């Protein structure tokens, strides 16, 4: 009798603690709904800001694929992991917030200065959710046609639409660290 109770207890412990440790190990900054869509990340302007590439329309025949500024952030726990190991961990989230070019002149000189928020993209690395994607990265867009509102959820985009270019040209595990001095400076420190 005691033996059976012990067995039941250890079984329950495996189930309970097993699950808890999986959730704990994940500690991720993203959530998906029951349809497998990514819920728009919140609070990312308080994450780690890694860089701000600019691809203005007026240098791209008026049709840059991601017009203007891209403010790129990584979630803080994944940044800590990158600092320690030089790798992007399971659950890493990048957010790329698109910002229009506001002014082209400032008291400091002529240039490109940020205007308004016009879109939001994100990438998530998860072997658990995206086992078939290259590097387990999935790509999402919350941008809408009017560039004023954002979609509350997004489905993963086809591999050819986004991942292929990242795989071909990005320096580190499909992330364009060559344009993010913050990540290069921190890598594996």
Q: Provide, rounded to whole angstroms, the least separation between the CB of residue 95 and ligand HEC.
A: 7
Nearer to ligand HEC, 36 or 105 (CB): 36
Q: Provide, rounded to whole angstroms, the least separation between the CB of residue 172 and ligand HEC.
A: 9
Nearer to ligand HEC, 96 or 129 (CB): 96
Q: Provide, rounded to whole angstroms, the least separation between the CB of residue 89 and ligand HEC.
A: 15
Distance CA 139, CA 131 (A): 13
Nearer to ligand HEC, 80 or 143 (CB): 143
Residues in contact with ligand HEC by the rule CB under 6 A: 53, 55, 70, 72, 94, 96, 121-123, 139-141, 157, 161-162, 165-166, 170, 175-176, 179
**Structural tokens at position 48:** 């780690």
């Amino acid at each position: 009798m005691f033996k059976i109770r012990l067995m039941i207890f250890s079984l329950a412990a495996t189930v309970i603690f097993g699950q808890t440790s999986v959730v704990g190990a994940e500690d991720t900054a993203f959530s998906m709904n029951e349809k497998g869509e990514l819920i728009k990340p919140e609070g990312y302007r308080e994450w780690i800001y890694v860089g701000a590439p600019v691809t203005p329309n007026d240098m791209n025949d008026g049709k840059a694929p991601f017009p203007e500024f891209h403010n790129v952030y990584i979630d803080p726990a994944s940044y800590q992991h990158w600092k320690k190991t030089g790798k992007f961990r399971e659950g890493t989230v990048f957010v790329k917030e698109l910002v229009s070019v506001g002014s082209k002149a400032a008291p400091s000189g002529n240039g490109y200065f940020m205007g308004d928020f016009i879109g939001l993209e994100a990438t998530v690395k998860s072997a658990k959710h995206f086992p078939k994607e290259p590097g387990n990265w999935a790509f999402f867009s919350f941008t809408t046609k009017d560039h004023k509102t954002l979609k509350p959820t997004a489905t993963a985009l086809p591999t050819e639409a986004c991942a292929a270019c990242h795989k071909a040209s990005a320096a580190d595990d499909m992330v364009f660290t060559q344009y993010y001095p913050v990540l290069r400076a921190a890598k594996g420190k």
